[in-house]
Structure formats: C-alpha cells, structure tokens
Amino acid sequence: QIQLLQSGAELRKPGASVKVSCKGSGYTFTRYGISWLRLAPGQRPEWIGWIGTYNGQTNYAQNLQGRVSLTTDTSTNTAYMEVRSLRSNDTAIYYCARGMSTIFGVVLDVWGQGTLVTVSS
Amino acid sequence: EIVLTQSPGTLSLSPGERATLSCRASQSISRNYLAWYQQKPGQAPRLLIYGASSRATGVPDRFSGSGSGTDITLTISRLEPEDFAVYYCQQYVSSPWTFGQGTKVEFK
C-alpha cells in the first residue's frame, strides 16, 4: 500500500522552529518528488515547496523562502520540512504529497495524513 | 502568480443532482496543467482530475473535468452521499503552484 506517514502534531511558541517528517512506503521513494503544502483555517491551500528526492533539488514558494528548508533522507525514505522563526499565522495543517509525473505534468497523487502545527505563546 | 477563483462558494444540492463547479484563472493555463481535489473533514485532499480532464486512478466516472485556458469546470453528473465535500482547483503550470479558495458542496 502506497502511503506517506507524517509525524505528529506540534505546539511551538512564536520565534521557534518546527521540523515535520514524511515517510514514504509502498513505492520507490527516489522516483517521485515530494511537495509540501499547508492549509490554515478558512484559507485556501498554500504550496510551500518541492524537493526532488533523487537529487535533493528544491524549489520554494517566495512567501516562506528563507524560513523553510526541505530535505530528504533516502536511507529511510523520509522527507523533512523545517520552518524557522514561526509566527502565529503559520498555524496550519501541513501536508506532504507525492509528485507523480504524467503527460500533463507533475501532479500530487498521494498525500500524507497531515500534521497540525500550532504556534501560540 | 496565477490567481484561481472558484465559484460558487457553496453549492446546495441533493443526492442524484448534477453539480457544476467553476474555476477561473487570472491568466491562461497552458498545457491544461490544472487539477481538482476533493477534501472531506479531517482528511487530506484527494486528487480527482489532472490535465483538466484526466481522472486519477480509482475516481468514479461521474466526475469529469472540462475547459481550457482560463475557464475550467468540474462536473459531478449524479451526486452520491460521499461526494459532499470541499473541492479545490489547482494550477501546476508555473511556480508557485496555486489553489482556488474552494467550493463546498453541501446537502440541500
């Protein structure tokens, strides 16, 4: 069964950092990139960035650039997202999603279950 | 950045009825790099349609996508009880990938 399993909910104070993991199973991890996204209450989904699991190449959305780092550990089939200098408006459910190559580009076909990150003093 | 605007915000329908959801882009989406996702409470989004009109694996054929350029449509031919959810369109032709604000399909 193909799945992405994310780490559990996190509570952080403003200014702190958080690192969320996303472990792939049931497929060859390095054949698919991983995107990270977040969904805050009442907001539309927001794309955070992309990492190529084969070569570690990254592409970040400008909104979070400089505060977010995407990495992978191919020995454990795990992708990581770290967000630094957290603010209250970073409170959201964070998702990882697998990027599948199709004739119509790369689409997000398998999603993790989501990780709630709450930023509050 | 491509801005996607979905309409209507909420669609109140009964099982068996037809649902038509619209997604309008601020600029033409080339190569039809447009996807639709379904999200139910407490769950992650689920890929329904990609390439504007190709159904993802396992998606029932009552779901169909159409359109091109700046106007894309998702149609659910006959609503089943499990189809009541929020639907998002997403463009992946240019970075940053962006989403619409969602259409909620609710029971009438």
pLDDT tens over chain B, length 108 residues: 999 999 999 999 999 999 999 999 999 998 899 999 999 999 999 999 999 999 999 999 999 999 999 999 999 999 999 999 999 999 999 989 999 999 999 999
* 3-state class (DSSP) for residue B30: helix
What's phi and psi for A52, nearest 5 deg?
-80, 115
Q: Could you say which of B32, B95, B100 has the minimum Cβ distance to residue A44?
A: B100
Smallest CA-to-CA distance from A39 within A116, A120, A119 is with A116
Contact in structure between A78 and A21 (CB atoms under 8 Å): yes
Q: Quick check: A52 and A72 in contact, CB under 8 A?
A: no
Q: Which of B5, B47, B104 should be substituted to probe chain A, the one whose Cβ sees the most A Cβ atoms within 10 Å? A: B47
Give tens-digit pLDDT for A59-94.
999 988 799 999 999 999 999 999 999 999 999 999
